[in-house]
Structure 1
Amino acid sequence: MSSSTSSSEAETPAAWRRFFLRAVAAAAAGCALLYGFVVLVDPWGVLPFRIPAERPPVSTNARYAFAGLAREARFDAAIIGTSTSRMLRPEALNAPFGARFANLSMNAATAYEQSRVLEVFLRHRRAPRAVVIGLDHVWCEAGPLQRYTPRPFPEAFYARAPWGAYREMLSFYAIQEAAKQAVVLAGLMRPPYGRDGYTRFLPPEEAYDAARAARGLPPIPPGAEDPPPPPAWQGEIPPLALLAERVAQVPHETRLVLLFMPLWLGAQGAPGSEGAGRIAACKARVAEIARRHPNAVVLDFMRASPITREPLNYWDPMHYRDAIAERIEAHLSRAARGDPGPSEDYAILSR
Structure 2
Amino acid sequence: MLLINSSIFTSEMAPWRQFSMTLMGAAAVLMTGFVAFSYVIDPYDTGRSPLFTKPGVRPQGPRTANASRGRDQSFNAMIVGNSHIQLIAPERLKAVTGLDFVQLATPATGPKEHLTLIDWFLRHRREAPKALVVGIDDFWCTSDPKLSNDKPFPFWLYSAHLLEYVEGLVRFDVLEELSKRIGYLFSTAAEQARPDGYWDYEPEYIKLGYTTDPAIRQRLEQKPYANAVRYDHDPKLSERQFPAVAKLRDLATKLPEETALVLVMPPVYRNALPSHGTEQAFLLSACKAAVMEVQEDHGRTAVVDWLVDRPEIHVRDLFFDASHYRQPIAKAIEADIAEALRQVR
TM-score by length of 2: 0.80
Closer, same or farther: CA 83–228 of 1 in aligned 2, 3 Å:
same
1:276 aligned to 2:292?
no
Post-superposition Cα deviations, 1:70-92, rounded to whole Å, max 9, x if no partner, equal 22222211101111011111111
Partner of residue 308, structure 2: 303
Closer, same or farther: CA 158–32 of 1 in aligned 2, 3 Å:
closer
How far apart in 2 are the matches of 1:269 and 1:134? 19
What does residue range 234-313 of structure 1 map to in structure 2 within 5 Å?
234=238, 235-313=240-318
Post-superposition Cα deviations, 1:8-51, rounded to whole Å, max 9, x if no partner, equal xxxxx99xx99x979x86x8887666545432331222252241
How much does 1:295 deviate?
1.4
How far apart in 1 are the matches of 2:142 and 2:161? 31
Match of 1:209 among 185, 189, 211: 211
| Number of residue pairs the alignment of both structures matches | 318
Post-superposition Cα deviations, 1:250-276, rounded to whole Å, max 9, x if no partner, equal 222112211100111211223211111
Partner of residue 321, structure 1: 326
The letter of the residue matching 1:72 is D
How far apart in 2 are the matches of 1:112 and 1:42? 24
Contact kept, 8 Å, 1:220 with 1:265, in 2: the verdict is: no
Partner of residue 141, structure 1: 142
How far apart in 1 are the matches of 2:233 and 2:43? 48
How far apart in 1 are the matches of 2:206 and 2:60? 27
Gaps of 5+ in 1: 1-12, 340-350
How much does 1:280 deviate?
0.7
Contact kept, 8 Å, 1:83 with 1:106, in 2: the verdict is: yes
How far apart in 2 are the matches of 1:303 and 1:57? 39
How far apart in 2 are the matches of 1:222 and 1:38? 50
TM-score by length of 1: 0.79
Closer, same or farther: CA 265–142 of 1 in aligned 2, 3 Å:
farther
How far apart in 2 are the matches of 1:127 and 1:216? 44
The letter of the residue matching 2:285 is A
How far apart in 1 are the matches of 2:120 and 2:49? 18
How far apart in 2 are the matches of 1:171 and 1:58? 20
How far apart in 2 are the matches of 1:137 and 1:268? 11
Contact kept, 8 Å, 1:133 with 1:258, in 2: the verdict is: yes
How much does 1:299 deviate?
1.2
Partner of residue 80, structure 2: 80
Closer, same or farther: CA 213–335 of 1 in aligned 2, 3 Å:
farther
Partner of residue 118, structure 2: 118
Closer, same or farther: CA 109–202 of 1 in aligned 2, 3 Å:
same
What do you get for the CA RMSD once the two structures are aligned? 3.3
Partner of residue 170, structure 1: 170
The letter of the residue matching 1:120 is W
Closer, same or farther: CA 146–99 of 1 in aligned 2, 3 Å:
same
Partner of residue 197, structure 1: 197
Report which of the two has the higher share of helix.
Answer: 2
The letter of the residue matching 2:258 is E
Post-superposition Cα deviations, 1:131-187, rounded to whole Å, max 9, x if no partner, equal 101111001123444332231433x33332323312222222112123223333324
How much does 1:105 deviate?
1.3
